[in-house]
Amino acid sequence: MNRKGFIKTAALAGIASQFQLSSRFFKFMSTGDIKIENLLGISESHLKSKPVLLEEKTYEAFSLMRSAALKDQIDIKIVSGYRSFQRQKEIWERKFKQFSKTKNPADAISEIITYSSIPGTSRHHWGTDIDIIDAAAEMPKGGLLQENNYHGEAPFSNLKSWMDRYSSDFGFELVYTKDKARSGFNYEPWHYSFAPVSKSYLKLQMGKDYKKAWHTLEFEGKSEMTYAFIDSYFKNYGMGIHTSLMPS
C-alpha cells in the first residue's frame, strides 16, 4: 500500500472507532464520536498525550511525516499543537488588556483577531493543527513564527519547500494561505492541519449545538461581541481557510 493510501485508511477507521465519550465535564450534545467539549478546548479526551499533545490520528500521521522529513535533513518541530481553552483565554485576555489601553473594545478585538483566535474557537483546541519550525536549522533571531523566516534564504525556507511538496501526502495542509481571496487570519506559513480529522471538527463547529455551547463560555471582552459579529467571525475567520480543509 502506498503512503497516501495508508494514511487515509487509518484515519477514517480511527475517527469511527477510537474517540471515547466521557462525562468529566458538563455535557453538550455531540455529533458522532467527537464531542463539542473537544472543540471548545475544555476536554482533552481526544488527545494522545506523549510526547506532544495532539489528537490521536494527527499524532500518528505527524510521526510518519517527521520521519520522512528527517531523511531530507529537516527536523520538523512542533512549537504549538493542542492548546486548551484556558491557555487561549490567557493569551486573549493579555492582548485585550494591552490593546484596550489605547483602543475602544471593538477595535481592540479587531486587532487581536488578525492572528489570535477567540477563546473556544481555536483550531488548536482540536489537536489537529500544528505550528512548526525546522529544529535542524539555525534559529532565527527574534520571534520564530514570522513570515520572513519561511521564505527566500531564511532558516525555515527548506522546511516550507519540503512541506509544499510533501505535506499533502501525509494529510497535512496549510490553513492560512497567501491566497488574497481568502478572508480571516493573516498568512501563517507555519500553521498546518491534519485534514482527514480536522474536517470533521470543522463540520461540527459549523453547527448550532457548538455555537450554543460556545455562548456559555466566559472571558474578557466577550460581552462586547454582538451576535452579528460572532456570526461574521465564524464565516470569515472559521471558514477563511484553504479549500482542502473544508468539509464536503
Residues that bind Zn ion in the complex, under the rule CB under 5 A: 131, 191
Work out how close the CB of 38 gets to Zn ion at its nearest, in angstroms, rounded to a whole number. 17
Per the CB < 8 A criterion, the answer to whether 238 and 182 are in contact is no
> Given the complex with Zn ion, which of 38 and 193 has the nearer CB atom?
193
> Given the complex with Zn ion, which of 73 and 146 has the nearer CB atom?
146
> Given the complex with Zn ion, which of 56 and 131 has the nearer CB atom?
131
Work out how close the CB of 237 gets to Zn ion at its nearest, in angstroms, rounded to a whole number. 13
> Given the complex with Zn ion, which of 28 and 124 has the nearer CB atom?
124
Work out how close the CB of 248 gets to Zn ion at its nearest, in angstroms, rounded to a whole number. 24
> Given the complex with Zn ion, which of 95 and 191 has the nearer CB atom?
191
Work out how close the CB of 200 gets to Zn ion at its nearest, in angstroms, rounded to a whole number. 19
For the chain, give the secondary structure using H, E and C: CCHHHHHHHHHHHHHHHHCCCCCCCCCCCCECCECHHHHHCCCCCCEECCCCCEEHHHHHHHHHHHHHHHCCCCCEEEEECCCCHHHHHHHHHHHHHHHHCCCCHHHHHHHHCCCCCCCCCCHHHHCCEEEEEECCCCCCCCCCCCHHHCCCCCCCHHHHHHHHHHHHHHCEEECCCCCCCCCCCCCCCCEEEEHHHHHHHHHHHCCHHHHHHHCCCCCCCHHHCCHHHHHHHHHHHHCCCCHHHCCC
> Given the complex with Zn ion, which of 131 and 173 has the nearer CB atom?
131
Work out how close the CB of 1 gets to Zn ion at its nearest, in angstroms, rounded to a whole number. 31
Residue among 241, 176, 198, 202 nearest 54 (CA): 198
Work out how close the CB of 130 gets to Zn ion at its nearest, in angstroms, rounded to a whole number. 7
Provide φ and ψ at 55, rounded to 5°: -60, 145
> Given the complex with Zn ion, which of 28 and 112 has the nearer CB atom?
112
Residue among 14, 27, 53, 44 nearest 200 (CA): 14
**Which residue sits closest to Zn ion, CB atoms considered?**
191
Per the CB < 8 A criterion, the answer to whether 87 and 98 are in contact is no
Work out how close the CB of 191 gets to Zn ion at its nearest, in angstroms, rounded to a whole number. 4
